[in-house]
């Protein structure tokens, strides 16, 4: 699979978004170290704090299939950019296999990339607890 496939899968995942409260659809394509890919979409809840972002949805899909080593992620929304929230950055920090590439973009905007270390500097992670 290519970079273009990952972008396409992230945009395709928008269709799975359940976002009746914010009307802000987010789709993700998570690429694991072994090449497997997992899509995710945000799914909201009437109790708003129970909402799950697209990135953590994709992470859950990977974890449940035994994939704990994340290489990169592609995140799309309908317009503009959806940089990952703080909780999702922390979740990716737990399972990164390298300094993850975080790509954001979509149908109407060019894709941009930043490294997880740029988005979450001086992070607290598994190594701090001896894991």
> What are the structure tokens assigned to 61, written together?
């899909």
User: Residue 131 CB, nearest distance to ligand THU (Å)?
Assistant: 26
CA separation for the pair 105, 11 (Å, rounded): 9
The strand pair at 96-105 and 70-77 is best described as: parallel
Among 8, 16, 19, 61, binds ligand THU (CB under 6 A): 19
CA separation for the pair 80, 123 (Å, rounded): 27
Pick 56 or 71: Cβ nearer ligand THU: 56
Is 54 one of the binding residues for ligand THU (CB under 6 A)?
A: yes
Write the CB contacts of 125 (distance below 8 Å, at least 6 apart in sequence).
Answer: 93, 94
Pick 54 or 116: Cβ nearer ligand THU: 54
Footprint of ligand THU (CB under 6 A): 19, 22, 24, 26, 42, 44, 51, 53-55, 75, 82, 84-85, 88
């Amino acid at each position: 699979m290519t970079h273009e496939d990952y972008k396409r899968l992230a945009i395709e995942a928008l269709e799975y978004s359940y976002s009746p409260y914010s009307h802000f659809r987010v789709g993700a394509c998570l690429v694991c170290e072994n090449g497997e890919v997992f899509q995710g979409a945000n799914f909201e809840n009437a109790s708003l704090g129970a909402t799950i972002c697209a990135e953590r949805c994709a992470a859950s899909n990977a974890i449940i299939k035994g994939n704990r080593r994340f290489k990169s992620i592609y995140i799309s929304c309908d317009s503009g950019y959806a940089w990952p929230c703080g909780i999702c950055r922390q979740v990716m920090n737990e399972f990164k296999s390298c300094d993850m590439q975080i790509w954001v973009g979509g149908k109407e905007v060019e894709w941009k990339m930043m490294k997880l270390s740029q988005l979450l500097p001086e992070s607290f992670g598994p190594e701090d607890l001896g894991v």
